[in-house]
């Protein structure tokens, strides 16, 4: 399934429209066109100026604009008017949130998908991870009796903690791991994970946008007026499958090293060179294809996210029971 490309802008400058073409002019005055017809997402990491004329051309070509802060973490998205709105789907999506049992069933499914991929990563550590695998598997079985969101979230948190405790077995390079820290990340590994998760979140936002789902109606995470919480739900499945495995690969193969990080009074973040390395690897990973067992054809990791959204639609409208993606290889 072919899709448009992602454009990443790191330099300061101006993003503007000239006639029916999109241009970026950097702070040295050098201007170059961007192929908007082949572009699906624009990611702004630099200090970039733009105006409403730009937003008009982005809307015409259905291009999403994602903005990141100084440290490289996701700030927000300009989301063109959605022509895929379906009142029928939204009503049923809302019903599954309002019904405690239906909501819990979906929440458990997202967590199960994530745990499957955590275990998949741990198995790559061999026999050293056996105790962690057994403990994580036993804790995951408690999901079957969890019928309230706080209980499901609690089990998910416990499973993730067991998984994080095993990270020293998965990271072979000289990166110290003392546990997960987010706001702010306190060490390079945490900074790398947080940056990768930010990329994952924006990718899911873009794929959900192409469906009839309302991105603000979620099940595991509480819906919020300030975030696309359904993307957080789906990210539970894909963060360990795509981001964590990518982090281990980048670090263990020494493509990412200590020189790629900045420590600002205890807040650690990737420098520009580091971000470019991670983004290039992430983009390559998202283009990776595999033969889908049900479809019988090759699909990319990026399209896999959209397929997950389609499965969720089928579930809420009563066509097919939702089962989370679980990598089988």
In a domain, 326, yes or no: no
Same domain, yes or no, for 179 and 275? yes
The dihedrals phi and psi of 48, each to the nearest 5 degrees, come to: -115, 130
16 marked as binding residue: no
Nearest to 125 by CA among 165, 159, 179, 156: 165
272 known ligand binder = no
pLDDT digits (tens, 9 = 90+) for 61-105: 889 999 998 888 888 888 887 666 788 899 999 999 999 999 999
Residue 163 lies in a domain: yes
Residues sharing a CB contact under 8 Å with residue 79, sequence separation 6 or more, in sequence order: 64, 205, 209
Let me know whether 65 and 122 are in one domain.
Answer: no
- Residue 236 counted as an annotated binding residue: yes
Contacts of 189 (CB under 8 A, 6+ apart): 167, 171, 175, 176, 177, 247, 251
Q: Which of 32, 59, 78 is the last residue of a domain?
A: 78
CA distance 327 to 202: 21
Interval 129-164: pLDDT, tens: 999 999 999 999 999 999 999 999 999 999 999 999
**Does 61 lie in the same domain as 122?**
no
User: Domain check: are 230 and 201 in the same one?
Assistant: yes
Q: Supply the range of the domain harboring residue 299.
A: 87-316
Query: Cα 213 to chain center, whole Å?
Result: 17
Could you tell me if 228 and 290 lie in one domain? yes
CA–CA distances in Å: residue 126 to residues 97, 102, 130, 166, 192: 40, 37, 7, 12, 24
Residue at 296 is within a domain:
yes
Q: 208 lies in a domain?
A: yes
Domain presence at residue 324: no
Cross-strand bridge partners of residue 17: 22
* Residue 137 resides in a domain: yes
- Residues of the chain with pLDDT below 70 are 1-3, 82-84, 225-226
Q: How far apart are CA 201 and CA 199, in angstroms?
A: 5
Query: What CATH number did the domain enclosing 311 receive?
Result: 1.20.120.920
Instruction: Match 């991105």 to its residue by tokens.
Output: 215
């Amino acid at each position: 399934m072919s899709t448009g490309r992602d454009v990443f802008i790191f330099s300061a400058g101006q993003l503007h429209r000239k006639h029916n073409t999109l241009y970026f002019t950097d702070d040295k005055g050098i201007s170059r066109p961007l192929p908007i017809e082949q572009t699906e997402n624009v990611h702004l990491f630099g200090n970039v100026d733009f105006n409403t004329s730009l937003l008009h051309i982005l809307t015409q070509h259905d291009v999403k604009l994602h903005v990141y802060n100084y440290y490289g973490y996701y700030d927000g998205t300009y989301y063109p008017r959605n022509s895929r709105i379906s009142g029928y789907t939204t009503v049923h999506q809302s019903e599954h949130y309002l019904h405690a049992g239906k909501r819990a069933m979906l929440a458990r499914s997202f967590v199960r998908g994530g745990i499957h991929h955590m275990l998949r990563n741990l198995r790559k550590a061999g026999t050293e991870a056996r105790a962690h695998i057994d403990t994580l598997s036993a804790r995951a079985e408690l999901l079957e009796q969890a019928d309230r969101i706080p209980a499901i979230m609690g089990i998910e948190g416990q499973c993730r903690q067991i998984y994080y405790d095993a990270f020293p077995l998965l990271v072979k390079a000289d990166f110290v791991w003392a546990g997960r820290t987010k706001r702010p990340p306190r060490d390079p590994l945490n900074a790398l994970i947080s940056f990768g998760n930010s990329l994952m979140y924006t990718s899911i936002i873009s794929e959900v946008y192409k469906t009839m789902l309302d991105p603000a109606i979620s099940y595991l995470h509480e819906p919020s007026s300030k975030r696309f919480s359904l993307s957080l739900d789906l990210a539970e499945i894909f963060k360990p499958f795509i981001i964590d495995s990518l982090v281990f690969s980048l670090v263990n193969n020494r493509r990412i090293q200590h020189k790629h990080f900045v420590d600002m009074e205890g807040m650690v973040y990737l420098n520009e060179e580091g971000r470019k390395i991670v983004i290039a690897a992430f983009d390559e990973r998202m283009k990776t294809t595999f033969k889908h067992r049900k479809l019988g054809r090759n699909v990319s990791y990026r399209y896999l996210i959209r397929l997950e959204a389609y499965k969720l639609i089928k579930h809420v409208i009563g066509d097919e029971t939702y089962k989370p993606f679980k990598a089988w290889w």
